[in-house]
């Protein structure tokens, strides 16, 4: 089992991802540079956070056109596991692997704090291990998930909402939605369920030293993937 951690100019959560996967999930993980065009030998892809290409044009827009993302789209369409976190989520949304878009937080501020999440479906490998309310950090300025009314109905009907922001008791409320996301959505999956995008950072919550280990409930999915 070998995970490709994609690196772009401006990635900054790549090292967190590598360390958490190697040390805390115990899978093999290697960096893959953005202008590579092969994922041969890899069983899963992790698109880490950051500010790829300085967020020029729109967050993730330029990175979504890179050779490695074109290859990632093919990889994902073969049903293989792909996760995008924070800017990685923005990139996968820009690449149209996931529905919707991420826009400026409703309060215009960069928000860096812990949030509580509830898994909304069990049908993805990424959410099937999350059976309680989990607490993991967010760190973003543009994480307000947007989808139009028809799109929202479609992702609800298809069970594509992976995570919602909730309070510590697991209830949806406005004060628990940090960025004004539609329907408190924190993460979505593709129709097949093998691609996850989420704004919160599971790779920053894999050691007690970092304040919590709830991110493991998501990332452990990788240890179940057959090589």
Q: How far is the CB of 106 from another protein (least distance, A)?
A: 5
Candidates 34, 59, 86, 140; catalytic one: 86
Q: Establish whether 203 is a catalytic residue.
A: yes
C-beta closer to another protein: residue 129 or 151: 151
Q: Establish whether 86 is a catalytic residue.
A: yes
Q: Which residues bind another protein (CB under 8 A)?
A: 57-58, 61, 65, 93-94, 99-101, 103-108, 146-148, 151, 180
Give residue 13's Cα distance to chain centre.
12
Give residue 188's Cα distance to chain centre.
8
C-beta closer to another protein: residue 74 or 122: 74
C-beta closer to another protein: residue 49 or 99: 99
Q: Which residue's entry shows tokens 């109905």? A: 153
What is the DSSP track for 61-113?
TTGGGSHHHHHHHHHHHTT--EEEETHHHHHHHHTTSSSSEEE--TTSS-EEE
- CA-based max dimension of the chain: 44
Q: How far is the CB of 123 from another protein (least distance, A)?
A: 24
Q: How far is the CB of 45 from another protein (least distance, A)?
A: 22
Q: How far is the CB of 103 from another protein (least distance, A)?
A: 6
Run of H or E residues at 180: none
Candidates 71, 94, 142, 203; catalytic one: 203
Q: Using only C-alpha atoms, what is the Rg of the chain?
A: 16
Candidates 34, 59, 94, 201; catalytic one: 201
Q: Which residue's entry shows tokens 């990635």? A: 11
C-beta closer to another protein: residue 63 or 85: 63
Where do the DSSP E strands lie in 127-178? Answer: 134-140, 144-146, 161-166
List active site positions.
86, 201, 203
């Amino acid at each position: 089992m070998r995970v490709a951690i994609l690196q772009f100019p401006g990635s900054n959560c790549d090292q967190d991802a590598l360390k958490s996967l190697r040390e805390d999930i115990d899978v093999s993980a290697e960096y893959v540079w953005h202008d590579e065009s092969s994922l041969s030998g890899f069983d899963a892809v992790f698109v880490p956070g950051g500010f790829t290409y300085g967020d020029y044009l729109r967050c993730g827009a330029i990175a979504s056109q890179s050779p490695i993302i074109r290859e990632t789209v093919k990889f994902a369409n073969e049903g293989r596991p792909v996760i995008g976190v924070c800017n990685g989520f923005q990139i996968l949304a820009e690449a149209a692997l996931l529905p919707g878009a991420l826009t400026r937080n409703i309060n215009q501020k960069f928000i860096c704090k812990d949030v509580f999440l509830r898994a909304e479906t069990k049908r993805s490998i990424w959410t099937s291990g999350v059976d309680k309310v989990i607490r993991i950090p967010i760190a973003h300025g543009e994480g307000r998930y947007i989808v139009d009314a028809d799109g929202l109905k479609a992702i609800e009907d298809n069970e594509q909402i992976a995570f919602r922001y909730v309070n510590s008791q697991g209830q949806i409320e406005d004060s628990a939605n940090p960025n004004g996301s539609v329907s408190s959505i924190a993460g979505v999956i593709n129709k097949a369920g093998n691609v996850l995008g989420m704004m919160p950072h599971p790779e920053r919550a894999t050691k007690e030293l970092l304040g919590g280990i709830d991110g493991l409930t998501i990332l452990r999915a990788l240890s179940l993937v057959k090589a």
